[in-house]
Amino acid sequence: MPEPRSSGPDADERDAAPAPEPEVARTPAAALNLAQQAESARQTGNTGRAEQQLERALRIAPRDAGLWHQMAVLRLDQQRFQQAERLAARSLQMAGAGDRDLALRNWRVMLEAREAQGDARGAEEAREAIRRLEAEIV
C-alpha cells in the first residue's frame, strides 16, 4: 500500500525542485585522439584513413554526438550525401537541445547534403532551422 503523501511547504518544495540534468559522459582520451587523427587525415585528403580512425573512435564512444557529426562531414566530403544527412541527424538527436553550436553545424551538413540530392523541400527546412538557431545564438 502506498504511503500517504505528506503535505505542507516542505513537500511542495520537493515537488517543485527541478530534476537534476543528466551528466554528460566525457569522451575517453583514446577516442578524442582518434578523432584528431581522423580530422588530420581528412584535411590531407586521406578519407579512407579518416574513416578507419572515426569508426574506431565511435566504437570507443558511441554516444558522442561530436564524433557522429565528424563522420557526417567525412561522408559529405566523400559525396555520400544520404549517409551524411543520416549521420548529421543522428548527431543532432544525440546532442539534444543543449549544444546549439553542434546543432547548427549538423543542420548545415544536412542542408548541403539535401541540396546535393536535389531535395528542395528538405533544404528549405534546413535553412529555416539554421535561421532559428542563428537567432538563438546571437
Query: Which CATH number goes with the domain that contains 81?
Result: 1.25.40.10
* Residue 86 domain flag: yes
* Residue 42 domain flag: yes
| Cβ-Cβ contacts under 8 Å for 27 (sequence gap 6 or more) | 61, 64, 66, 67
Q: Count the domains in the chain.
A: 1
The pTM is what? 0.79
Share of the chain above pLDDT 90, in %: 75
Please give the Cα distance from 97 to 108 (Å, whole number). 16
Range of the domain at 52: 28-137
Whose cell is 515537488? That residue is 15
Please classify residue 27 by burial: count the beta carbons closer than 10 Å to its beta carbon, then call 0-12 exposed, 13-18 middle and 19+ buried: middle
- Tell me what the pLDDT averaged over the chain comes to: 86
* Residue 34 domain flag: yes
